[in-house]
Amino acid sequence: MRTIVCRGSCKTPRGMGVPPMKHGQDARATPARKGFCKSLCLLMALWMTFGARGDTPTLVVAFWNVENLFDTEDDPDNKGDDAYTPSGWMRWTPWRYRTKLEHLAEIIAHMKPDVLCLTEVENRRVLEDLSEALLSRHSCKLSVIVHRDSRDKRGIDVALMTHLTPVATNWLESAEGQREVLVCEFNVDGRSLTVLVNHWKSQLGKKAVSDFIRRQEASTVRAYLDKRLERDPAAAMLVAGDFNDNPESEILVETAGLVPDEARVRADTSGRSLFNLAASLPEERRATYYYAAGKKWNVMDSISVTRGMLEDVEPTAPWRVVKDGYSVVRTPAQCDEDGTPIPFRFVRSKTKGNAFKTGYSDHFPVRVKLKAR
C-alpha cells in the first residue's frame, strides 16, 4: 500500500467547519486542523488501497453447440464426416467452411467470453481456424485451446477456448462410446473457478436407451461434484452444456443435481444442489433449440452454478453470478422470420425442396457474467 503523508500545510476546504489560521500561526498547533488532515489522509489512503485498484475482476463464460463444425477434409477413420467434404451431400466446400467460421466468430465476438465452451467440433484444426477468424476479424483472442478426440461415432467433440491459462485439465469418461466431460480449472487473481463442459446423449432412438445413457452421464458429473464439494464446500463450479433434456427433467434435477429452483437450492444447506440459471429467465426467454418436427421449443443448453456462487449464501464461493448476468444470446442475424435459430446446412422445405441456409447454428448460445467477491 502506498504511504500518503499529510503535512500541516493542507488547505482547508470551505464549509468543513475547521477554523481558519491566524496570521503566523503554525498549522500543527491547531487541533481541529490537525484532526481534519488526519481524517483526510485516512480517506486518501483507503482510496489508494481499494479504489485505485480498478474494478473488481469479472469473467464471462459462454457455451455454444456450434452444430457440426467440420473441416473440408475426409478423415478415413471417421465416417461421420463423409457428408462434410466438397463431394459429400452437404457440398462442404472451402467457401462454406470459411463462411461458417466467420459467422460463428461474429457471434462469439459479440458475447466477449473469457472462457468459451463448445460442442460439435470435429478436431483441433477447426478450433485453430476459429481462433484465427476471431483474432483477424474481431481482435478477439481465444488462443488457448483444450481439446481431445472423443469416442463419439459422429466424430464430434467437446472443447474449450480461452485467453486464460488452465491450471488443471481432466476428462471424465461416462457412458461407453459417448463423449467425455471436459473439466478445466482456472485461477484468476487467486480465485479458483472450475468449468465442466458437457454434451449428453441425444433423444434419438428408443427413449429408454437414451435416458439410460444420459443418466450415466449425469451420474458421472454428480460424482465429480460431490468429491470436490466434500473437499471444498465453497468451491466455485460451473456446469455448462447441451444436455439434450429440459431443466425440469428427472435426470438433470435428481441425478445430476442441477436444479431449476433457486429457493430450493438456497434451502439445501448441504450445498449439493446447483442452480440451473435457465430458471432465472422468464420462460419465453429460456429456449435454445427448436425441434421442427415436433414444432416445440426446448431448453437443451444451460449453465448451472454451485450454491456458493449465489448472492448472500454461506459459505461463499470466490465468484458470484452477477445480477441478471445470465442470458440466451439471440441476435437478429441468428433468427429466422419465426424467431427460430438459422442453421448452417441443408433444410428441407415443402415448397422449395432442400435449401441450404447459411446461418449460424441450430442452437442459441448461453452466457453468464461472474464477479469476484
Residue 238: is its pLDDT beyond 80?
yes
pLDDT for the residue 8: 36
Higher-confidence residue of 246 and 347: namely: 246
pLDDT for the residue 19: 45
pLDDT for the residue 36: 55
Mean pLDDT of 93-102: 98
pLDDT for the residue 33: 54
Percentage of the residues of the chain whose pLDDT score is greater than 70: 84
Domains observed in the chain: 1-54 (no CATH), 58-372 (3.60.10.10)
Q: Which residue has the cell 462442404?
A: 92
Per DSSP, what are the bridge partners of residue 294? none
Mean pLDDT of 129-152: 96
Confidence of residue 178 (pLDDT cuts 50, 70, 90): confident
User: For residue 214, how many other CB atoms are within 10 A of its CB?
Assistant: 25
Higher-confidence residue of 49 and 56: namely: 56
Pairing of strands 296-298, 301-306: unpaired
With helix as H, strand as E and coil as C, how does 3-33 read?
Answer: CCCCCCCCCCCCCCCCCCCCCCCCHHHCHHH
Residue pLDDT, tens place only, 198-215 = 999 999 889 999 999 999
Mean pLDDT of 233-253: 97
d(CA 50, CA 314): 24
d(CA 202, CA 184): 24
Higher-confidence residue of 174 and 213: namely: 213
Residue 312: is its pLDDT beyond 60?
yes
Confidence of residue 34 (pLDDT cuts 50, 70, 90): low
Closest Cα partner for 59 from 163, 184, 181, 145?
Answer: 163
Mean pLDDT of 245-260: 98
pLDDT for the residue 46: 41
Cis-peptide, bond into residue 315, ω within 30° of zero = yes
Q: What is the secondary structure of 206-234 as a DSSP string?
A: -HHHHHHHHHHHHHHHHHHHHHHHHH-TT
Residue count (the chain): 373
Q: Which residue has the cell 435428481?
A: 254
- In this structure, which amino acid lies at residue 307? R
Backbone angles phi, psi at 111, to 5 degrees: -75, -25
Please, what is the Cα angle at 254 between 280 and 270, to 5 degrees? Answer: 80
- In this structure, which amino acid lies at residue 281? L
User: For residue 199, how many other CB atoms are within 10 A of its CB?
Assistant: 27
Mean pLDDT of 181-210: 95
Mean pLDDT of 79-83: 89
Confidence of residue 78 (pLDDT cuts 50, 70, 90): confident
245 touches 252 (CB < 8 A): yes
Report the SS3 class of residue 114: coil
Query: How high is the mean pLDDT of the chain?
Result: 88
Higher-confidence residue of 52 and 203: namely: 203
Confidence of residue 354 (pLDDT cuts 50, 70, 90): confident
d(CA 368, CA 299): 16
Residue 328: is its pLDDT beyond 70?
yes
In sequence order, which ranges of the chain are alpha helices (DSSP H)?
31-49, 94-111, 124-138, 207-231, 250, 262-267
C-alpha cell recorded at residue 247: 431443466
Confidence of residue 353 (pLDDT cuts 50, 70, 90): low
Report the SS3 class of residue 264: helix
**Residue 158 neighbours by CB under 8 Å, 6+ apart:** 117, 118, 119, 121, 147, 150, 179, 180, 181, 182, 197, 198, 199, 241
pLDDT for the residue 80: 84
Element (H, E) at 268: none
C-alpha cell recorded at residue 28: 500543527
pLDDT for the residue 294: 73
Query: For the ranges 2-11, 17-26, 120-129, 347-356, which has the lowest average pLDDT?
Result: 2-11
Closest Cα partner for 157 from 181, 129, 136, 188?
Answer: 181
d(CA 96, CA 83): 13
Residue 191: is its pLDDT beyond 80?
yes
d(CA 49, CA 43): 10
